[in-house]
Every structure is written in C-alpha cells, then in structure tokens.
Amino acid sequence: MRLLPFAAACAAAVLLASGCASADKAQTCAESTRLITQTISEIGKVVDDPAAMRKKIEDGAADLEDMANKAADTTLRDALQGLADSLKKLDVDDANAAVDAAQKVATDGASYLREVSRACL
C-alpha cells in the first residue's frame, strides 16, 4: 500500500513533464510561425533596395538558424534550417535579382510554413 502514493506521485510527475513538453513545443511552434512570417514580410518590404534586401536575408537566415538550434522537434528544426539554407543561396545583386528573390522567399516560405504546421500538430 505504501507503493500506491509513490506510484501516484510518479504518474503525476510524468503527466506534468509531458504537459511541459507540450507547452514548450506549442511556444516554439508559435515563435517559429511568427519568425517565418516576419522574415518573409521583411524581405518583401525591401524588394526595391537590393542592399537592404541582402541584409534582411542575412538577418532572417541567422534568426531562423538560431530558432532551429533551439527546437527540440526534429521536423520543426529541419523546416527552420531548410528555409535558412534557402535564404543563404539567394544572390541579390540588382533589382531584377531582388524581385526574383522576393518571389522565391514567398514560395519557399509558404512551403516551410506548411512543414512547420505539420510538425506542430
């Protein structure tokens, strides 16, 4: 009979831990979605300024990598890192390249947002 309170305490600890893990994942999912949306938006706002766009792309990639390194969920981490890698491959050296880059960021960003959504279900 003495084991019953101990077992109940252990079960409560497991439930609490899994609840915390769920809360952490929910927080990371919300932050990831916000970061991706913000990155896409910030890059799109400077499509007429290639130098500013390069800076937004670099900053966005760095922020996404930081978030990826903090994500415990592998699928979420891969999606964040995937978008960061996609941004790093962009070469914005003139106005035409900036327009092309903005379109690629919007397309890839939407794709990675879907991956984040799937990881967060």
* pLDDT grade for 120, boundaries at 50, 70 and 90: confident
Contact predicate 27/120, CB 8 Å: no
Contact predicate 76/29, CB 8 Å: yes
Instruction: Tell me how far apart the terminal alpha carbons of the chain are, to the nearest angstrom.
Output: 40
- Rounded to the nearest integer, the mean pLDDT of the chain is 84
Please tell me the distance from the alpha carbon of residue 88 to that of residue 53, in angstroms, as a whole number.
Answer: 12
Average pLDDT estimate for 90-105:
94
Average pLDDT estimate for 63-74:
93
Average pLDDT estimate for 73-94:
94
Q: What percent of the chain has pLDDT over 70?
A: 81
Q: Is the pLDDT reported for residue 8 higher than 80?
A: no
Contact predicate 112/36, CB 8 Å: yes
**Which residues are within 8 A (CB) of 24 and not within 5 positions of it... i.e. 6 or more apart?**
72
* pLDDT grade for 84, boundaries at 50, 70 and 90: very high
Please tell me the distance from the alpha carbon of residue 108 to that of residue 91, in angstroms, as a whole number.
Answer: 15
* pLDDT grade for 16, boundaries at 50, 70 and 90: very low
